Amino acid sequence: MDTVLRNATVIDGTGETPPYRADVGLAEGRIAAICREGRGGGKRPSGRRVIDAQGLALSPGFIDMHAHSDLALLADPAHEAKAAQGVTLEVLGQDGLSYAPVDDRTLDEVRTRITGWNGDGRDVAFDWRTVGEYLDRLDRGVAVNAAYLVPQGTVRMLAVGWEDRPATAAETGHMRRLVAEGLEQGAVGLSSGLTYPPGMYADDAELTELCRVVARYGGYYCPHHRSYGAGAIRAYGEVIALARGAGCALHLAHAVMNFPENACRAPELLALLDSALAEGCDITLDTYPYTPGCTTLAALLPGWVSAGGPDAVLARLRDDATAARIRHALEAEGSDGCHGTRVDWETVEISGVATPGLAASYTGKTIARAARERGEEPWATARRLLIEDRLGTTMLHHVGDEGNVRTIMRHRVHTGGSDGILHGAKPHPRAFGTFPHYLGRYVRELGVLSLEECVAHLTSRPAARLRLPDRGLVREGYRADLVLFDPDTVAAGSTFEAPRALPTGIPYVLIAGRFVMEDGRRTDVLAGRSVRRAPAA
């Protein structure tokens, strides 16, 4: 064997098999032998390298079903934020906005629009335009494996632009072709950001046409739907009906019930979900184990403000009369960008800015606090920041409900996703802590899930959604994407005060049998590659 993991306690990823002690031998990037204690079977495997895993749990590598590492994987070879958590595969292209497929115009526009998620990319060579070329770029070697969703908002930029109107038949045909090309080149599905422009301008008929393409290729639809606030249950129902009508598998992105209006309402969502599952719908979901959300400050703006693209947004913000309309929509009516709820500036905390000179005045402060320090109304502060930072500001939105978080994570189709935004001086701790936080907080401390159940949520269930036949389980012949962790000490190091602290209790992480984490330290191994859609059965 290349490597033997001796005396490990195997948590195999099924969620059903009790933990067992075994020696696990790895060869040529795969699990070559599992010698269970007490089962006989002859000589224990030997290897060129032997790791004593006494006291450690061995599980499949964790799969982050909702990641925003599209540029970070290329710009930061170490990528400790995810490697140190035991993540061996991330799903990129989320929320309908990413960097392929693009042309020169749309690349500039999308870089501006999601600077708050990923930075401006000045340290990345954008030497791709298609989905296939982006995946080829990953194949040069990255820290962890990555799959990709075709981003519907970016596709709409290419075919329609930033106009707030239904697509024509010709434009819809163009989008169908772009989605098909992305899937043929290896994307695993389609994402949407239906509170983010320009994807939010698509009606259900347009989205259904695109989902029919996804269904034909055996992919799945992953929507950030139209409301996580006042209209949350209705919005979940809409995407379930849409996917059912298109015959398409559905994965509900960051499936939360946020804002005071939705406190304790998770059972309503799960009843809706169970009803659809009973009817034969193919549905999964992901969540992160925290209550605050994280996105750009510009995301709060009403959808009509973003028609025409980023430059048009800034022009509207600079115009006093239009800015007054925006304020009324945010504070009196409830903006669609704020999920139909009236904004509470006390809940909006600035986590990062694109313009370094603004950091001291804003980072780590709520809009309400920054406004008090300036002696002005919160809208005046928010407006000024949006303009001066050219829409590049990232925020934490403290509107979650802990009871909902716990209820949803217990569901049988739940998977783990960090929704981790790595950009900004004070990012959400979920970017560095989601997976150990599940294991430490919600398994060991609270007992919301058993260890075996939780590992299944983070490994085999997402692998099944991605239709990966040789990942997500500790099983002979499977890829040696593995994590060794200490169930008694594993914990997220990241907090809201120190969000970039690394986790504890995860000494070893392997991808393709190679150590990307060793003795709790990042190695220089870049074993990650693109994971491309498997052909439909």
Kindly state whether residue 326 falls inside one of the protein's structural domains.
Answer: yes
Radius of gyration for the alpha carbons in the chain, expressed in angstroms and rounded:
23
Cα(187)–Cα(199) distance, rounded to whole angstroms?
Answer: 18
Query: In what helix (H) or strand (E) does residue 458 lie, and over which residues does it extend?
Result: helix 451-458
pLDDT of 512 = 98
- If asked whether residues 104 and 162 sit together in one domain, one would say yes
pLDDT category of residue 43 using cuts at 50, 70 and 90: confident
d(Cα 60, Cα 470) in Å, to the nearest integer?
Answer: 11
Whether 325 and 423 map to the same domain: the answer is: no
Instruction: Write the single-letter amino acid at 505.
Output: G
Pinpoint the alpha helices (H) of 160-255. 169-184, 204-216, 232-246
In a domain, 394, yes or no: yes
Q: 74-118: per-residue pLDDT in tens?
A: 999 999 999 999 999 999 999 999 999 999 999 999 999 999 999
pLDDT for 39: 72
How far is residue 512 from each of residues 1, 203, 293, 358, 496, measured CA to CA in Å?
A: 14, 42, 33, 43, 33
Domain endpoint, select from 398, 420, 438: 398
| List of residues 6+ apart from 253 with CB closer than 8 A | 66, 94, 95, 191, 222, 223, 224, 225, 285, 286, 417, 419
Q: Per DSSP, which regions of 124-177 are E strands? A: 145-151
- Taking the C-alpha atoms of residue 65 and residue 253, their distance in angstroms, rounded to an integer, is 8
Same domain as 332, residue 305: yes
> What pLDDT is stored for residue 38 in this prediction?
77
Give 231-234 contacts, CB < 8 A, sequence gap 24+.
Answer: 231/339, 231/340, 232/257, 232/258, 232/261, 232/262, 232/265, 232/269, 232/339, 233/265, 233/268, 233/269, 233/272
462 domain residue, yes or no: yes
For residue 44, what pLDDT is reported?
86
pLDDT at 334: 94
| 381 plus 513 within the same structural domain | no
Pair (406, 320) in one structural domain: no
286 and 313 inside one domain: no
Task: Render pLDDT for 190-239 as a digit per residue (tens, 0 to 9).
Answer: 999 999 999 999 999 999 999 999 999 999 999 999 999 999 999 999 99
Are residues 209 and 118 both part of a single domain? yes
pLDDT band for position 53 (cuts 50, 70, 90):
very high
Q: Which two tokens stand for residue 100?
A: 């392929």
Question: How deeply is 360 buried, as exposed, middle or buried, from its count of CB atoms within 10 A (0-12, 13-18, 19+)?
Answer: exposed
DSSP state of 445: I
Q: What is the DSSP string of 346-383?
A: GGEEEEE-SSGGGHHHHTTSBHHHHHHHHTS-HHHHHH
Average pLDDT over residues 236-251: 98
Please give the pLDDT value at position 537: 54
Picking from 30-44, 296-310, 430-444, which range would have the lowest pLDDT averaged per residue? 30-44
- Domain, as residue range, for 338: 296-398
457 vs 455: CA distance, rounded Å: 5
Q: Is 17 exposed, middle or buried (0-12, 13-18, 19+ CB in 10 A)?
A: middle
Residue 54, in any domain of the structure? no
Average pLDDT estimate for 149-177:
97
> Cβ distance 339 to 259 under 8 Å?
yes
Domain termination residue (choose one: 398, 416, 449):
398
Nearest alpha carbon to residue 252 among 226, 215, 230, 289: 226
Residue 473 resides in a domain: no
Report yes or no on 10 lying in a domain.
no
Distance CA 485, CA 524 (A): 20
Tell me: pLDDT of 535 over 90.
Answer: no
What pLDDT does residue 95 have? 98
> Cα(61)–Cα(434) distance, rounded to whole angstroms?
14
227 in a domain, yes or no? yes
pLDDT > 90: percent of the chain: 97
Given 398, 414, 439, the domain boundary residue is 398
Looking at residue 40, its pLDDT comes to 64
* Cα(128)–Cα(106) distance, integer angstroms: 13
Which CATH number goes with the domain that contains 455?
3.20.20.140
Cα–Cα distance, 524 to 80 (Å, whole number): 11
3-state secondary structure of 532: coil
User: Do 178 and 301 sit in the same domain of this protein?
Assistant: no
Q: Are strands 3-10 and 20-27 parallel, antiparallel or unpaired?
A: antiparallel
Burial of residue 523 (CB within 10 Å: 0-12, 13-18, 19+) is middle
Q: For residue 171, which amino acid is it? A: E
| Number of domains comprising the chain | 2
The pTM (predicted TM-score) of the whole model is 0.96
Model confidence pLDDT, tens digit, residues 183-197: 999 999 999 999 999
Is the same domain home to 226 and 359?
no
Contact 13, 60 (CB under 8 A): yes
**Residues 355, 446 share a domain:** no
* Mean pLDDT, the chain, integer: 96
User: In this predicted model, which residue has the larger pLDDT, 533 or 43?
Assistant: 533
Same domain, residue pair 201 and 260: yes
Closest CA to 248 of 189, 202, 301, 292: 189
Note the pLDDT of residue 224. Answer: 97
339 in the same domain as 485: no
> What is the bridge-based pairing of β-strands 521-522 and 514-518?
antiparallel
Distance of alpha carbon 152 from alpha carbon 199, whole angstroms? 6
Per-residue pLDDT, 536? 62
Instruction: Indicate the SS3 state at residue 465.
Output: helix
Residues sharing a CB contact under 8 Å with residue 488, sequence separation 6 or more, in sequence order: 55, 444, 505
Task: Give the mean model confidence (pLDDT) for residues 490-513.
Answer: 97
Instruction: Give domain status of residue 15, yes or no.
Output: no
pLDDT, tens digit, 9 for 90 and up, residues 443-471: 999 999 999 999 999 999 999 999 999 99
